[in-house]
């Protein structure tokens, strides 16, 4: 009985000091980054295949696009590694600061080094949040392009919903800057476009970009949660701490 009571007391102390906001944010961060990086990588590969197969027969037309896609894929590898490491560090920092805040009115005295480390994490997380806002906005661009293409295909499949002729309904990759204006054919129209939209490659790539967008949104929410929790804990340590030691 005494051993069980001691175990329960230990678990209770762990739960009291657990940074629940940081735990949720860490899980959301890992999920969002994995979804964004994994789906984004495959969606870029699918886009490369679609461009090569349907929109241009000349390699020089999409050579630059392929280089950009490969560069983004390498960036994705680095992004995944960085965020998994940084998420773990933020979780550890959350345990430290939350434990300090829980004991702020007791004998606990935080160190200057601890306060400086917390402030550093707050600043880095704020900067990452701003940068990730741009990533989140950019991840919406391919979703917009594919959605427009899919909408055009729906108009072709159901001509009664539009007054335009089927042959004039096109998806032009050049219009979005994906291909140069001198690329040939650069666009696909009418029934040919509808056949592309029905392929598994197009459907999969479209849904992968949507999933990557959702992952970017989840990561943004996690960063905002980290930033709010870290800022609050740091403010309590700085303004309400009753002592400092080295």
Distance of CA 143 to the CA centre of its chain: 14
What's the confidence (pLDDT) of residue 84? 92
Boundaries of domain holding 30: 1-243
Whether the pLDDT of residue 177 is over 80: the answer is yes
Reduced to 3 DSSP states, what percent helix, strand and coil does the chain have, rounded to the nearest 5? Answer: 80, 5, 15
Give 148-186 as a DSSP string. HHHHHHHHHH-GGG-SS-GGG-EEEGGGGTSS-TT-SB-
Token pair 């606990």 in the structure block, residue: 108
For 54, 60, 169, the CA distances from 192, given in Å and listed in that order, are 9, 23, 10
Whether the pLDDT of residue 141 is over 50: the answer is yes
The answer to whether 78 touches 210, Cβ cutoff 8 Å, is no
Higher pLDDT, 240 or 225: 225
The answer to whether 236 touches 51, Cβ cutoff 8 Å, is no
β-pairing verdict for 110-111 and 170-172 = unpaired
Higher pLDDT, 246 or 180: 180
List Cβ neighbours of 103 (8 Å cut-off, separation of 6 or more): none
Token pair 């159901």 in the structure block, residue: 158
CB atoms within 10 A of CB 133: 14
What's the confidence (pLDDT) of residue 166? 85
pTM: 0.85
Q: Domain count of the chain?
A: 1
**If you average pLDDT over each of 32-46, 82-96, 146-160, which comes out highest?**
32-46
What's the confidence (pLDDT) of residue 232? 77
- The answer to which of 21-35, 138-152, 211-225 has the lowest mean pLDDT is 21-35
Q: Name the packing angle between helices 59-102 and 200-240 (round to 10°).
A: 30
In tens, the pLDDT along 226-245 reads 888 888 777 776 665 544 43
Tokens coding 160:
């009664």
Give 58-98 as a DSSP string. -HHHHHHHHHHHHHHHHHHHHHHHHHHHHHHHHHHHHHHHH
In tens, the pLDDT along 112-137 reads 666 677 788 889 999 999 999 999 99
């Amino acid at each position: 009985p005494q051993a069980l009571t001691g175990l329960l007391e230990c678990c209770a102390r762990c739960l009291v000091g657990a940074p629940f906001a940081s735990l949720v944010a860490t899980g959301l961060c890992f999920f969002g980054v994995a979804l964004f990086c994994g789906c984004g990588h495959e969606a870029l590969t699918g886009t490369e295949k679609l461009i090569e197969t349907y929109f241009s027969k000349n390699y020089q037309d999409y050579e630059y696009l392929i280089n950009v896609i490969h560069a983004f894929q390498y960036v994705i590898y680095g992004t995944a590694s960085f965020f998994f490491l940084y998420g773990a560090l933020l979780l550890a920092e959350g345990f430290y600061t939350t434990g300090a805040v829980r004991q702020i009115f007791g004998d606990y005295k935080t160190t200057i080094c601890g306060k400086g480390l917390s402030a550093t994490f707050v600043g880095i997380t704020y900067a990452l949040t701003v940068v990730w806002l741009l990533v989140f906005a950019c991840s919406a661009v391919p979703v917009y392009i594919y959605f427009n293409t899919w909408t055009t295909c729906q108009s072709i499949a159901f001509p009664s919903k539009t007054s335009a002729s089927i042959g004039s309904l096109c998806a032009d990759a050049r219009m979005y800057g994906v291909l140069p204006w001198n690329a040939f054919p650069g666009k696909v129209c009418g029934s040919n476009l509808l056949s592309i939209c029905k392929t598994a490659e197009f459907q999969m790539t479209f849904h992968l970009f949507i999933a990557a967008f959702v992952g970017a949104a989840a990561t943004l929410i996690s960063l905002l949660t980290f930033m709010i929790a870290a800022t609050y804990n740091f403010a309590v340590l700085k303004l309400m701490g009753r002592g400092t030691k080295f």
